[in-house]
């Protein structure tokens, strides 16, 4: 009987400890910094202005603000498109401003993320956009559109700080769940924003959009909300094709 009693005490202790660990994890507020990129090829005979305007309208459907640039690109249209280069101004700024700034960058993922951008040398159109949902996520996008002899290339780089935790009953936790219920998760929102850009280009120009590469893995669900998905060949097409 003593052994049974001791076993019960141990089992009960382990159960309480496990529940306590789970509860503590749920109560802990976390900031998670996430980066994403997508590379698309666009086959169309439309001029750059039509493609640019379609990309701008598609982007504007999902962001809070956008800063667009139309650089002068002279010379012959190149045979191959350019490729974006990630740039992190936070690293150099932290070194110049000393240890306190470096510590601030590490402690505040959102501050650090704001200084991560994409360089788009040779692009005919670029855009920097933001989407912020209070108490949920702060997201930025960098888009680069290149013209080349066979069409266009669109690179999208995004980064965001996602907040998690805060308790099952805490105001922060409840507000965050409500925000996600209304706007969707950051992951889904990022994918939808990217999709609406290439979908608008495809719709307006009649071109063919092919997904070439990206990270992390392409999410399926948001891409199907119009009945279109990227098929096994990477081409944006109706789901039934």
Residue ranges of domains in the chain: 27-84+120-238, 86-116
Distance between first and last Cα of the chain: 68
Q: What is the pLDDT of residue 189?
A: 84
Percentage with pLDDT > 90 across the chain: 42
Q: What is the pLDDT of residue 108?
A: 52
List the 30-43 sheet strands across, edge first.
Answer: 65-69, 125-133, 137-148, 151-164, 30-43, 208-215
- Per residue in 157-193, pLDDT (tens digit) is 999 887 776 654 455 566 667 666 666 678 888 888 9
Average pLDDT over residues 107-118: 65
Q: What is the pLDDT of residue 110?
A: 54
CA distance 161 to 31: 6
CA distance 168 to 171: 9
Judged against a pLDDT cut of 80, whether residue 202 lies above it is answered with yes
| Signed CA dihedral, 182, 185, 186, 189: sign only | negative
Determine the CATH number of domain 27-84+120-238.
3.30.160.110
Average pLDDT over residues 85-111: 60
Q: What would the two tokens of residue 101 be?
A: 């700034």
Q: How much is the pTM? A: 0.76
CA distance 101 to 183: 33
Q: What is the pLDDT of residue 104?
A: 52
CA distance 136 to 164: 8
């Amino acid at each position: 009987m003593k052994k049974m009693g001791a076993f019960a005490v141990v089992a009960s202790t382990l159960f309480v400890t496990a529940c306590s660990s789970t509860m503590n994890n749920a109560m802990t507020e976390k900031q998670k910094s996430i980066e994403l990129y997508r590379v698309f090829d666009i086959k169309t005979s439309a001029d750059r202005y039509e493609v640019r305007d379609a990309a701008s309208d598609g982007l504007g459907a999902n962001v809070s603000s956008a800063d667009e640039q139309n650089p002068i690109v002279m010379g012959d249209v190149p045979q191959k498109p350019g490729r974006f280069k990630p740039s992190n101004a936070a690293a150099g700024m932290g070194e110049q401003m000393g240890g306190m700034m470096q510590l601030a960058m590490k402690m505040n993922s959102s501050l650090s993320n704001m200084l991560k951008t994409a360089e788009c040398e040779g692009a005919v159109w670029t855009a920097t956009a933001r989407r912020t949902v209070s108490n949920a996520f702060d997201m930025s996008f960098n888009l680069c559109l290149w013209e080349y002899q066979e069409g266009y290339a669109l690179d999208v780089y995004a980064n965001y700080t996602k907040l998690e935790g805060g308790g099952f009953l805490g105001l922060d936790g409840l507000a965050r769940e409500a925000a996600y219920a209304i706007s969707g998760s950051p992951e889904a929102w990022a994918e939808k924003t990217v999709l609406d850009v290439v979908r608008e280009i495809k719709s307006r120009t009649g071109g063919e959009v092919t997904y070439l590469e990206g990270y992390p893995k392409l999410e399926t669900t948001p891409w199907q909300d119009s009945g279109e998905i990227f098929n096994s060949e990477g081409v944006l097409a109706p789901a039934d094709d």
